[in-house]
């Protein structure tokens, strides 16, 4: 019953006219930006973060969650219609979704993507609501040693996800941790790595780093490729699913939802891993695996449900433990901190209204997407036909104005250009920026917990191995590392990333 009263509190917050409006606006502009080819949720959140600064924290988070879902939904729209995935998690949607579109069934593909996502979102919201309270109470038992080990586990988990070399991904994490050290040390007040620049005393702005590495860098990369796009011409019709479509895809939605809900909670999990897994699971369990890649509706239903379910459940580790399991959630964590909320087990107790409001608004956001985006899909398609040469200066401009508004100074804009250059170098060297962002977010917390843990144990590092929970996290991290290093798993991991 407590669950119901909590959800009721959430509803009260989420459906207040103003918050409903922000949820709507977030979902709309999230789709608007996310629909642009090559721009996924991470880039969208990076670009739109500053627009939420003027709002109170609850509304800002609701709007950000809306932006997140909108962007993800927009990404699948682009995958189906243009065959250019906006983000990694939509790669598998391309395979069958675009084939369906070529066969004149784009409407059905978009409908099942939306409805499957909504069904999955509804289920995952409940999972989140049920698990949140016990997990956060569990997290209160954590001491600094447990937190430190949990963060190690989380960071290693994100490496498993990186598609390139493991060594490089670990290096990127460490580089991110180091970047997170820039600024004033909280314990001693000493300035670290500030190069005597006063603006760096507060550290590198999260918005600058994220926008540089994802927003600006991706524009430069797109300008290098002179790609031609395969935009679907003609009117979109046939959004209604036939009875056989529903019969075929309903079990796929269910399997995708379960798979996504489970994988979303794991560190390093989230939308990308779950959509790949759901697709492969669907193909393996299907009676006609050869029809996958030819426009099988299950090949759209399963990964789309899975990535939405995972998108929702991946909030669990962030909101209950304070550990972002993937980059998108790292962006959300960064956004929460900017609004003065430290993600972690205390959020539920100290800000119940915010916590439950955000959870319920995720569900409301999904509903809005179904009700609004299917009718609006024609508009999104028209947006796709706006040439990139007109769009990217606009995106750059909005980034710059947004950056200026963060602190009302121009230093952040210059810093972003520098981060863009850094992102370009990483891209050329095939180093993924995602682990770096995670390291950057976790760096200060990790150091603080390490210091506290070692202080309590009087400098004895054995504390991380003698406390059972801490040891369990470290062992899990070690198992993950060994698994990824094993040759057979390494090969299948590489082929999984290539399938797209």
Partner 1 sequence: MRISHPKDFLTGAMFILSGGAAMAMSAGLTIGSAARMGPGYFPFALGAFLAALGAILLLRSLIAARKAQAWPVLHLKPLAIVLLSVVLFSQGLRPLGLVASTVGLVVLASTASHEFRWKEAFLNAVVLVVVVLAVFVYFLEFQIPVWPQLASGRI
Q: Which residues bind partner 1 (CB under 8 A)?
A: 51, 54, 165, 167-168, 170-171, 174-175, 177-178, 181, 185, 187-188, 190, 192-193, 216, 219-220, 223-224, 226, 387-390, 392-394, 396-397, 399-401, 404-405, 408, 410-411, 413-414, 416-417, 420-421, 424-425, 428-431, 447, 450-451, 454-455, 457-461
Toward partner 1, which CB reaches closer, 158 or 261? Answer: 158
CB of 86 to partner 1, least distance (A): 20
Residue found by looking up tokens 């490729």 in the block: 225
Toward partner 1, which CB reaches closer, 291 or 457? Answer: 457
How far is it, in rounded angstroms, from Cα 404 to Cα 427?
A: 26
CA angle 137, 138, 143 (to 5 degrees): 110
- CA torsion sign for 4, 139, 307, 419 is positive
CB of 159 to partner 1, least distance (A): 12
CB of 82 to partner 1, least distance (A): 18
CB of 445 to partner 1, least distance (A): 12
Across the strands, what pairs with 191?
A: 184
Q: How many of the other CB atoms lie within 10 Å of CB of 421?
A: 14
The helix/strand/coil state of 183 is: strand
Toward partner 1, which CB reaches closer, 239 or 392? Answer: 392
Toward partner 1, which CB reaches closer, 397 or 478? Answer: 397
Say if residues 264 and 278 touch (Cβ distance below 8 Å): no
How far is it, in rounded angstroms, from Cα 31 to Cα 307?
A: 16
Across the strands, what pairs with 192?
A: 183
Toward partner 1, which CB reaches closer, 186 or 482? Answer: 186
**What count of residues does the chain have?**
500
Toward partner 1, which CB reaches closer, 184 or 291? Answer: 184
Say if residues 65 and 361 touch (Cβ distance below 8 Å): yes
CB of 176 to partner 1, least distance (A): 10
Dihedral angle of Cα 199, 202, 208, 209, to the nearest 10 degrees: 120
CB of 221 to partner 1, least distance (A): 9
Toward partner 1, which CB reaches closer, 137 or 224? Answer: 224
CB of 414 to partner 1, least distance (A): 5
Toward partner 1, which CB reaches closer, 4 or 190? Answer: 190
Residue 365 tokens, joined: 């956001």
Toward partner 1, which CB reaches closer, 122 or 194? Answer: 194
Q: What are phi and psi of 418, to 5 degrees?
A: -65, -45
Toward partner 1, which CB reaches closer, 346 or 452? Answer: 452
Residue 289 tokens, joined: 């695996």
How far is it, in rounded angstroms, from Cα 324 to Cα 166?
A: 20
Toward partner 1, which CB reaches closer, 134 or 393? Answer: 393
CB of 401 to partner 1, least distance (A): 6
CB of 227 to partner 1, least distance (A): 11
The helix/strand/coil state of 184 is: strand
CB of 208 to partner 1, least distance (A): 11
The distance between the two most distant Cα atoms of the chain, rounded to a whole number of Å, is 71
CB of 222 to partner 1, least distance (A): 9
Q: Which residues of 236-272 are buried (b: 16+ CB within 10 A; e: fewer)?
A: beebebeeebeebbbebbbbbbbbbbbbbbbbbbbbb
How far is it, in rounded angstroms, from Cα 61 to Cα 63?
A: 5
Helices (H), 140-205: 144-161, 166-181
Helix or strand run (H / E) with residue 192: strand 191-192
Q: What is the DSSP string of 228-243?
A: ---PPPS-----SPPH
Toward partner 1, which CB reaches closer, 220 or 376? Answer: 220
CB of 145 to partner 1, least distance (A): 14
- CA torsion sign for 493, 497, 498, 499 is positive
């Amino acid at each position: 019953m407590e669950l119901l009263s909590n959800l009721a509190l959430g509803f009260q917050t989420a459906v207040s006219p103003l918050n409903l409006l922000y949820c709507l606006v977030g979902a709309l502009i999230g789709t608007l930006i996310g629909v642009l080819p090559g721009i996924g949720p991470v880039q969208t959140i990076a670009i739109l973060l500053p627009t939420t600064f003027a709002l109170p924290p609850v509304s800002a988070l609701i709007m950000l969650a809306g932006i997140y879902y909108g962007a993800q939904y927009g990404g699948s729209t682009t995958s189906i219609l243009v065959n250019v995935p906006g983000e990694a998690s939509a790669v598998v949607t391309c395979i069958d979704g675009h084939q369906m579109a070529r066969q004149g069934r784009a409407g059905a593909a978009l409908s099942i993507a939306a409805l499957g996502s909504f069904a999955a979102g509804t289920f995952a919201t409940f999972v989140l609501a049920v698990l949140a309270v016990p997990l956060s109470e569990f997290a209160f038992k954590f001491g600094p040693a447990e937190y430190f080990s949990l963060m190690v586990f989380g960071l290693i988990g994100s490496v498993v996800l990186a598609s390139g070399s493991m060594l490089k991904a670990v290096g990127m994490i460490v580089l991110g941790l180091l970047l997170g050290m820039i600024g004033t040390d909280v314990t001693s007040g000493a300035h670290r790595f500030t190069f005597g620049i006063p603006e760096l005393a507060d550290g590198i702005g999260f918005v600058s780093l994220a926008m540089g590495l994802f927003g600006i860098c991706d524009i430069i990369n797109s300008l290098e490729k002179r790609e031609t796009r395969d935009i679907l011409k003609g009117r979109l019709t046939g959004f209604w699913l036939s009875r056989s479509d529903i019969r075929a895809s309903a079990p796929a939605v269910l399997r995708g939802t379960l798979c996504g809900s489970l994988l979303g909670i794991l560190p390093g999990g989230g939308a990308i891993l779950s959509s790949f897994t759901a697709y492969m699971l669907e193909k393996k369990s299907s009676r006609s695996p050869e029809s996958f890649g030819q426009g099988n509706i299950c090949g759209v239903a399963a990964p789309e449900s899975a990535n939405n379910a995972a998108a929702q459940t991946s909030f669990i580790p962030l909101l209950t433990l304070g550990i972002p399991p993937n980059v998108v959630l790292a962006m959300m964590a960064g956004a929460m901190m900017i609004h003065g909320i430290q993600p972690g087990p205390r959020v539920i107790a100290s800000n119940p209204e915010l916590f439950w409001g955000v959870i319920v608004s995720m569900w409301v956001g999904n509903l809005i997407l179904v009700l609004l985006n299917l009718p609006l899909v024609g508009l999104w398609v028209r947006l796709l036909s706006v040439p990139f040469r007109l769009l990217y200066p606009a995106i750059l401009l909005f980034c710059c104005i947004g950056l200026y508004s963060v602190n009302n100074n121009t230093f952040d804009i210059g810093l972003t250009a520098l981060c863009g250059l850094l992102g370009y170098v990483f891209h050329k060297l095939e180093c993924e920026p995602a682990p770096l962002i995670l390291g950057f977010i976790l760096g200060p917390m990790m150091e603080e917990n390490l210091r506290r843990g070692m202080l309590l144990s009087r400098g004895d590092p054995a504390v991380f191995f003698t406390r059972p929970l801490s040891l369990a996290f470290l062992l899990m991290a070690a198992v993950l590392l060994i698994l990824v290093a094993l040759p057979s798993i390494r090969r299948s991991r590489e082929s999984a990333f290539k399938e797209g």
